[in-house]
Structure 1
Amino acid sequence: MRDDPAREPRAPQGRRPRQRYGAVMKVVRRVHMYLGLLVFPWILMFGISGVLFNHPQIGRDFERRAISAEQLSALTAFRPWDPDALARKVVEQLNAGSPSRYTLDEATRGAFSGWPELIGSTSDGGRTMLLISLDDGDATLATFPPAPPKPPDPPFAGATIELPEHRMAAVEAQVKDLLPSLGIAGGGPLRAHPEVSPELRFRMRDAESRLWNVTYDLGSGRLDGRLDDAAGQPLFVELLGMLHKTHHFPVHGGMTWIWALFADITGITLVLWALSGLAMWWQMKPSRVVGAVAVAVAIAVAAMVMSGTASDIVFGKAEKGGA
């Protein structure tokens, strides 16, 4: 007698969705891992150079000496400044020369941002740098050894080459009617950026067969350059900082274009790491409660720190337009 088909065992309900979920998480873990392997040199570079911005003394040869407020006061005429008293004087002077009447917000304490940086020199050709905390009077004195000899300045440095047809002024004149032609009314003519201009780069040899890397500023027409050799290269820590701050895709391809590409990939990887990390945490049921608390604390701390830092950055700065 044949078995009743209705009595045959059936596959557990939900088996296929669980299989699909497992397959998706497998892909997530692979992407998380292989993206990290692909960009780990960039992660290291951005991480190390980011720390160096906060600790510029690392990798540099210098001596640092702390000076207390009492010692500085005894040796010099400097006395700590009161930011609130100084703010009152500023408002008083503003009211004396203005028809408007301003009052100091007593609910907000005045505070100094930054510190005086005073530069000096030593008898052996080195240099000194004094940083003073204005409100408490403490100071830090850094002494740097003599710098290595600089490479020779180009004999053509600062020379101006007049090529009127290949200057930003010529481009400005050529596009002055572009906006009306495109139907954009109300705007004035396009102007060249006063501080940003492209440059022409090329190499040339002098009478002694030395090879020079030459730049020609298409805004000012000024020449500059350096010898094409290893002399005068920045310190490794300085080079890391320069790489960290290099951004934007150049007009043409090349290593800088590839650098910008990997910078994008690194940023995207960090985003995917954060999201895939959350997905992998959620997959581990025993740790969901602890993880939820950790995520909530992380979001709260990040929101507090980011908003406070943003307020400090934009304090007293009017929004400026720009390219």
Structure 2
Amino acid sequence: MTTEPQSRVARPSSRARVRYNAGMKLVRRAHMYVGLFLVPFVLLYGLTAFLFNHPDWFSDRSVRLITTQDAAGTSLGSFPNAGELSAQVIQAINQGGTSRVSLSTAQVPAYSRDLALTAKGAEAEQVIFLELEARTGSVRSAPAPKPVSRPAWARASVPLDSPPAEVARTAVAAILKKWGRGPDEVKVRTPPELIFAVESDDGTTWRAAYNLQTEALTVRPWGPDLSTRRFLTAMHLACRYPSQINVQWCWAAIVDLMAVAMVFWGFSGLFMWWQMKSLRRLGAIVLAASLIGSILVAIGMHGLIGR
């Protein structure tokens, strides 16, 4: 007589447990298959991001370091550090102004980035990065491209009766005015280039690039002009959805998919960890350390970027 009520009481709990196990199984399967599908794209995206921190990987340039011994005897060897140069700037300000200022302790003087220079010669093209505080640097050299005679038809500038950038600027000003937000001034920020192919009288095909703002025309022989490194870094920097559905649109969709998948991996990983009771304490310690570390890094980067 008592077994039937007990089974009826236990049945809802058992059903809930079955649904819970089925849900967690679905989470584990989704976690795994999403990861398997995105493995190639994650590796590609990770590699392209890695190249920005390590400019010598897949580089088509030879690298030579500028040491303190190389800098000795040159003006770089006596280049002022950030504190010394700040004092010089403060002194110059006080000499030319009516009021005096002094260096504040709110910000430790520092250079925001390395000084980048380029050097071009008949035999090589060089990109130089100088670490001003340490008075060292690096020189990346590549053979100079073979000179290509510019065809006679390729003028340096090709002005049009209706400059495209001016047409766009005027149109934007009119639209904003129509919205009741008439601006004082509209400037072109980053004009695109019009890329097209040109075939000359002798049958040679050229790649032409026309700047919509400066109306400058650059040409080079038709053909690929990408090193492995340039291709990978350019692929990483490709962003936004183009107006037409093409390969770049697919790449943008994959980037969005990876962003969603990373959030899903994080939360699904938390659920999977919580199921393993024996690892809850150790996992909590790791999670707490990660949260503290990420907060400290975010605060530090905020101070660095915002200075």
Q: Please report the TM-score for the alignment, with normalisation by the length of structure 2.
A: 0.83
Q: Distance in 1 between matches of 2:191 and 2:119?
A: 34
Aligned to 2:139: 142
CA deviations 1:239-298 (Å, max 9, x no partner) are: 100000010111222111111111111222222222222221122211111111111111
The amino acid across from 2:274 in the alignment is: W
Q: In structure 2, do the counterparts of structure 1 residues 263 and 157 end up closer, same or farther at CA, with 3 Å as the change threshold?
A: farther
Question: Is 1:40–2:34 an aligned residue pair?
Answer: no
Match of 1:158 in 2: 156
What is the identity, as a one-letter code, of the residue corresponding to 1:44? L
Q: 1:66 to 1:213 in 2, by over 3 A?
A: closer
- Report deviation, 1:151: 6.3
Which whole-Å CA distance do the structure 1 matches of 2:256 and 2:129 have between them?
37
Query: Is 1:205 matched with 2:199?
Result: yes
Aligned length: 303
Q: Structure 1: which amino acid aligns with 2:183? A: G
Greater shift in the superposed pair: 30-39 or 277-286: 30-39
Give the secondary structure class of the aligned counterpart of 2:139. strand
Q: Equivalent residue for 2:218?
A: 224
Q: Which residue in the other structure is 1:178 paired with?
A: 175
| Cα distance in 1, alignment partners of residues 262 and 124 from structure 2 | 42
Paired position in structure 1 for 2:19: 20
Q: Is the 8 A contact 1:81 1:136 kept in 2?
A: no
1:104 paired residue number: 103
- 1:274 matched to 2:273? The reply is no
Of Structure 1 and Structure 2, the greater helix share is in: 2
CA contact (8 A) 1:116 1:133 kept: yes
**What is the distance in 2 between the residues matched to 1:229 and 1:277?**
47
Contact 1:128 1:141 in 2 (8 A): no
Contact kept? 1:80, 1:134, Cα under 8 Å: yes
2:19 maps to a residue whose letter is: R
2:64 corresponding residue in structure 1:
64
Deviates more, 1:202-211 or 1:40-49: 202-211
Which residue of structure 1 lines up, in the alignment, with residue 123 of structure 2? 125
Question: Are 2:233 and 1:241 aligned?
Answer: yes
Distance 1:237 1:132 in 2: 22
Shift in Å at residue 35 of structure 1?
Answer: 2.0
Show structure 2 runs of 5+ residues with no match. none
Would the aligned equivalents of 1:175 and 1:190 in 2 still touch at CA under 8 Å?
A: no
**1:171–1:75 Cα change, 3 Å:** closer
Confirm or deny: 8 A CA contact 2:165 2:188 kept in the other structure: no
The alpha-carbon deviation at position 224 of structure 1 amounts to: 3.5
Cα distance between partner residues in 2 of 1:6 and 1:171 = 80
2:94 is aligned to: 95
Q: Tell me if the contact between 1:177 and 1:189 (Cα under 8 Å) persists in the aligned partners.
A: no
Q: Which runs of 5+ in 1 are unaligned?
A: 316-323
Query: 1:64 touches 1:141 (CA, 8 Å); kept in 2?
Result: yes
Q: State how far apart, in whole Å, the 2-side matches of 1:58 and 1:151 are.
A: 29
Q: Which stretches of structure 1, 4 residues or longer, exceed 6 Å deviation after superposition?
A: none
Distance 2:274 2:42 in 1: 25
Amino acid at match of 2:41: W
In structure 2, do the counterparts of structure 1 residues 223 and 140 end up closer, same or farther at CA, with 3 Å as the change threshold?
closer
Q: Which residue of 2 aligns with 1:319?
A: none
Does residue 257 (structure 1) correspond to residue 254 (structure 2)? The answer is no
Percent of aligned positions with the same letter in both sequences?
Answer: 27
* Residue of structure 1 equivalent to 2:183: 188
Counterparts of 1:96 and 1:152, CA distance in 2: 53
Which amino acid in 1 is paired with 2:104? D
